[in-house]
Amino acid sequence: MQWTAGWWETVFMWAFLGLLAVFVAASIRGRGLTWTAAVLSGLVMFGLILWPAAVPSSVPATIGTPWLWAMINVGAVWCAFAFGTVVGCAYAVFIGGVFAVIRTMPQSASASLPVALEDAAFSTVMGLTICVTIGILRHAAQRVDSAAEAAIVQYRDAAAETAVSNERLRLDALLHDSVMTVLITAAQSGSTRERQASAKLAGSALERLDKQGTEAPEVAPATVTELAARIRFTVDDGVEDPEVLVSCDSPEHLVLPGEIVRAVFEATTEAVMNAARHSGATRCEVRVAGHKTAETARVAVSIKDNGTGFNPELVSDRRLGIRVSIIGRLDAVGGTADVISAPGAGTEVRLSWAGAAA
């Protein structure tokens, strides 16, 4: 530092260290990593290129190598992370060549050409090795993600086909047991009494058909983790924007009654759809939590977005989306639903239910 120029230290040391702190914070948050990695790799590159301009040629011969030499491989990793494996490998080769040239200058102890090439080759090979390893791991991760996504789609399609098949079987049985019986009875009716009985039977069949078409099918009991998985599958398939993140914190074997599973599932997906349609959010977090005390099971779901928000008190009673589709569904099964929002502060929907486990 006693020989480097002040402008170089400001940009390529203090700004570098400050941005490194930002990168660590971004790593913890999981956001903003790409641009910080790109800028950091650029600072390593240009800091090394400008080293001869920042250090006078009259420095002692024992000055040694620029400290940025130790960051060449890290810069290649940042570049590969931000721009891909190929660009990262090209970065490693280029910055290795830059260092070989600078190593022979007085500002870097005027090393001989063999020594400079040896140092540059070492850093280049290390950078290439790391970048290729990153590429291999990324490719493997993509293959695993693709296989998992294909399995989820296949499972979803199979479940849908099974549900449709089961529903057709139920309808076929109902038609056979009710409608065909009515038609056969009517065809064989000869007296007024028999025709009246046939008409009464027909009315009963129509009532059963109407009930079949209007009532929701029974839902089997399910664990809280299965409920979270159903929510994740549905929103992944039906919502492209905002990004929806679903997390679950619950004992593995906490089972909820079927009607509770259906009510919480439908209210949650409706809240996510509302965020997608009306909030302009870029991120929506769904947290599902469950726990059991004695004989009481509890489940709580939070759906929080970073959208524009609104004033719940100004929503007209004619708007049924929240009042019926979310609050009404939870009220019907003995649960509660709260909507917390304000203009410019996003929206959070909290669903909760407590009762006997299945």
Question: Which residues lie below 8 Å from residue 168, measured CB to CB, with a gap of 6+?
Answer: none
Q: Percentage of the chain with pLDDT > 70?
A: 90
Closest CA to 307 of 330, 333, 272, 282: 282
CA atoms of 93 and 72, how far apart (whole Å)? 10
Asked whether 198 and 179 are in contact (CB, 8 A), the reply is: no
Give the pLDDT of residue 351.
94
Q: Where are the alpha helices (DSSP H) in 175-248?
A: 181-188, 192-214, 224-238
CA atoms of 329 and 232, how far apart (whole Å)? 20
Cα distance between the two ends of the chain: 70
CA atoms of 131 and 120, how far apart (whole Å)? 16
Q: Is the pTM of this model over 0.75?
A: no
Q: Is the pLDDT of residue 110 over 70?
A: yes
Closest CA to 350 of 246, 341, 241, 342: 341
Q: pLDDT tens-digit profile of 43-52?
A: 999 999 999 9
Closest CA to 81 of 10, 117, 33, 145: 33
3-state DSSP percent of the chain in helix, strand and coil, to 5: 65, 15, 20
CA atoms of 248 and 252, how far apart (whole Å)? 10
CA atoms of 2 and 28, how far apart (whole Å)? 35
DSSP class of residue 276? I
The single residue listed with the structure tokens 């997608």 is: 276
Averaged confidence pLDDT in the chain: 85
Tokens for 139, please give them: 């490719």
Asked whether 267 and 186 are in contact (CB, 8 A), the reply is: no
Give the pLDDT of residue 174.
60
User: What confidence category does residue 7 fall into, taking pLDDT thresholds of 50, 70 and 90?
Assistant: very high
The length of the chain is 358
Chain centroid to Cα 297, Å, comes to: 27
Give the pLDDT of residue 59.
85
Instruction: Tell me whether residue 263 is exposed, middle or buried, using C-beta atoms within 10 angstroms of its C-beta: 0 to 12, 13 to 18, 19 or more.
Output: buried
Q: pLDDT tens-digit profile of 180-201?
A: 667 877 887 888 888 888 888 7
Give the pLDDT of residue 38.
94
Q: pLDDT tens-digit profile of 286-317?
A: 999 999 887 789 999 999 999 898 888 877 66
Beta partners for residue 222, in sequence order: 256
Question: Which residues lie below 8 Å from residue 169, measured CB to CB, with a gap of 6+?
Answer: none
Mean local confidence (pLDDT), 338-354: 91
Of 11-25, 88-102, 161-175, 302-316, the poorest mean pLDDT is in: 161-175
CA atoms of 298 and 291, how far apart (whole Å)? 5
Tokens for 96, please give them: 């290795």
- Kind of pairing between the strands at 243-249 and 283-293: parallel
Q: What does the radius of gyration of the chain's CA atoms come to, in whole angstroms?
A: 33
